[in-house]
Amino acid sequence: MADPTTILVAARDEEDNIGETVTALRRAFPDAEVIVADDGSRDATAERAEAAGAFVMCLPRRGKGEALSVAERAAPPGSLLLVDADVRGDLTPLLPSDKVSQGLRIAVFARRQGGGLGVAKAAARALIRLRSGFEAAEPLSGQRALSVEARAAVFPLAPRFGAETRMTIDAVCAGVHVEEIPLELEHRATGRDARGFIHRGGQLLDAALAAGPLRVNHRGARVPLIGWTVALYEPLITAIGLADDRWSGEERGFLAHLRARRTTGVLKLIGIPLVGLLRTRSLSGAFLVGLSANALNQLDTKPGRALKAYLAAAVIVDAPVALAVLLAPYDLREMTMLGDGGSNGLGAMLGLSSVNRFTGRGRWIAIGALAGLTLLGERRSLGELIERTPVLREVDAWGRRP
């Protein structure tokens, strides 16, 4: 990694800095391509970066982590150098001169500039230590050199300002060598004013979410799983779903799990109806809880889809809606995902409410309908059927980002 193959710069509204940054990078690393991921800027950032010699990707506003991840997918194979748009100083010492030091190398600012009370940085440092055991001096530094091995271990990045915190955690946990290098650098530091505290509050929240469970969505972006919140209502069933989030394999569908035998899918197949049986003390209740959990889980393939189905059914069976209403905007904007923990937990809530709502023939009609939906999902993709049905396709798209 004598020279990086590609330099990635995430920038938003940086017209005053980006031209100088790109020019300095091209001068210091003449053989490297500079890719600027313009994260929804409303000024001349893209034009000035392009004029300075960078390849510019104009993106909708998604946040730093996703912007860098999109740029990384467009970059050629090889090592990377990640640089903030407002940094000043010599970054060449960040690159190793020998193979032993290759891995993830993080720039530490030799002199502190501005900043707040250190709460966000201390929290990020503690999260990295808790998850990986690594003692980070500069957990939020955006100046990072990545070998090919490190690149494979950390991309796609965690969303927004949680990118750096999770990058260090992933690298250490993957066995990649991580080293911090003190450098004489400068950047535009946030002050101790309202804007600065809001920015650092966002960093703190993003770092906390990034250190938790993440999942890659249908766009290839990595987002936090927030299905654990459903444990406030259904702790045991949500825990079973979270086990599937954490340890699931490649198996899909009941038959595939049964053939594989010891999978988290088999745990759900047995465990969720068993919880339903204990809670309702009836066989029909066990069927309703298990089938409802599976049905909502099958629908959790696109943002907002499972939550819309839950809210529609909740009106009929009088299930709790407050949590689903709170989660829906974040799920639709692809800021979070339910995951198996959330979708199974919410589906079980529908099943338990159905037991109270339906009796006798009505309960078995509901069981038959859910069983039919499950069998259909085993043979065909429910998401594909929704997207091919005009009315369902329109409802499915409500509120979702294009």
| Pairwise CA distance, residues 68 & 73, whole Å | 9
Least-confidence region, from 143-152, 256-265, 291-300, 350-359: 256-265
Burial of 47: CB neighbours in 10 Å, binned 0-12, 13-18, 19+: middle
Least-confidence region, from 165-169, 196-200, 303-307: 196-200
Q: Please give the pLDDT value at position 154.
A: 97
Cβ–Cβ under 8 Å, residues 99 and 147: no
pLDDT higher than 70, residue 52: yes
Q: Please give the pLDDT value at position 248.
A: 74
Query: Looking at residues 9-13, what average pLDDT do you find?
Result: 96
Least-confidence region, from 77-91, 96-110, 167-181, 264-278: 96-110
Cβ–Cβ under 8 Å, residues 134 and 168: yes
Q: Which 3 state secondary structure label does DSSP give 178?
A: strand
**To which CATH superfamily is domain 6-216 assigned?**
Spore Coat Polysaccharide Biosynthesis Protein SpsA; Chain A (3.90.550.10)
Query: Looking at residues 133-139, what average pLDDT do you find?
Result: 95
Least-confidence region, from 27-31, 158-162, 251-255: 251-255
| Pairwise CA distance, residues 302 & 319, whole Å | 22
| Pairwise CA distance, residues 51 & 16, whole Å | 13
Mean pLDDT over each residue of the chain, to the nearest integer: 90
Q: Find residue 337's DSSP bridge partners.
A: 225
Q: SS3 for 35-85, per residue?
A: EEEEECCCCCHHHHHHHCCCEEEEECCCCHHHHHHHHHHHCCCCCEEEEEC
Least-confidence region, from 10-24, 240-254, 311-325: 240-254
pLDDT higher than 70, residue 311: yes
Joined tokens for residue 155: 């991309």
pLDDT higher than 60, residue 99: no
| Pairwise CA distance, residues 260 & 254, whole Å | 10
Selected residue with higher pLDDT from 229 and 193: 229
Cα distances from 280 to residues 152, 235, 276, 317, in angstroms, run 47, 16, 6, 16
Q: Please give the pLDDT value at position 98.
A: 63
| Pairwise CA distance, residues 393 & 395, whole Å | 6
Q: Find residue 108's DSSP bridge partners.
A: 182
Q: What is the pLDDT of residues 350-398, one digit of tens each?
A: 999 999 899 889 999 999 999 999 888 888 888 889 999 999 999 999 9
In which band, very low, low, confident or very high, does the pLDDT at 251 lie, cut at 50, 70 and 90? low
Cβ–Cβ under 8 Å, residues 107 and 138: yes
Give the residue among 117, 88, 76, 93 at the shortest CA–CA distance from 14. Answer: 88
> CATH 3.90.550.10 spans which residues of the chain?
6-216
Q: Please give the pLDDT value at position 256.
A: 60
pLDDT higher than 90, residue 7: yes
| Pairwise CA distance, residues 257 & 309, whole Å | 25
Of all residues in the chain, the percent with pLDDT exceeding 70 is 90
Query: Looking at residues 234-254, what average pLDDT do you find?
Result: 81
Q: Please give the pLDDT value at position 380.
A: 84
Burial of 238: CB neighbours in 10 Å, binned 0-12, 13-18, 19+: buried
pLDDT higher than 80, residue 221: yes
Query: Looking at residues 156-174, what average pLDDT do you find?
Result: 96
Does the CA dihedral 144-148-149-155 come out positive or negative? positive
pLDDT higher than 70, residue 166: yes
In which band, very low, low, confident or very high, does the pLDDT at 219 lie, cut at 50, 70 and 90? confident
Of all residues in the chain, the percent with pLDDT exceeding 90 is 74
Q: Please give the pLDDT value at position 277.
A: 95
pLDDT higher than 70, residue 14: yes
